[in-house]
Amino acid sequence: MRVHIGTDHAAFELKEFLSARLREGGYEVVDHGALVVDPEDDYPDFIIPCAQAVAAEEGSLGIVLGGSGNGEQIAANKVPGIRAVLANNVEFALLGRQHNNANVVSLGGRFVEPDAAWEIVRAFLETEYTGEERHARRLAKLQAYEQLRGV
């Protein structure tokens, strides 16, 4: 599976840690940056291209990281076709995949230790969408809204 990952300076070290663990686990990692720590960089510059790549490539998933993960989740969700969830614990990652068919997970590097982040990411990547009628119905409504807006 191809996994797209992106962050700004606030979670650079976590991105490097997770990228290494993902590669060790056999995942193909596409790093959308940041490639160096620059305290003046802006998360949309890395998160939006990461989310666009996930949206363009069926079957891929994404990981976006920042200080809290909030801004990164918001930025990813601006990309049509993206369903990003903030998951600072395993249960949120599981539910995001099972119920919302999330294709991007957002984590806050200032709130999640690296080993815990790896468990969250692993759970996200290994969990399937249930496809239950109630969840499918809700996702269809979201998709219809996106189409209505011309997104």
Just list the catalytic residues.
72, 99
**In whole angstroms, what is the distance from residue 151 CA to residue 149 CA?**
5
How far apart (Å, rounded) are the C-alpha atoms in residues 114 and 72?
18
How far is the C-alpha of 74 from the C-alpha of 55, rounded, in Å? 15
Residue 29 one-letter amino acid: V
Instruction: Give me the residues paired with residue 106 across strands.
Output: 64, 86
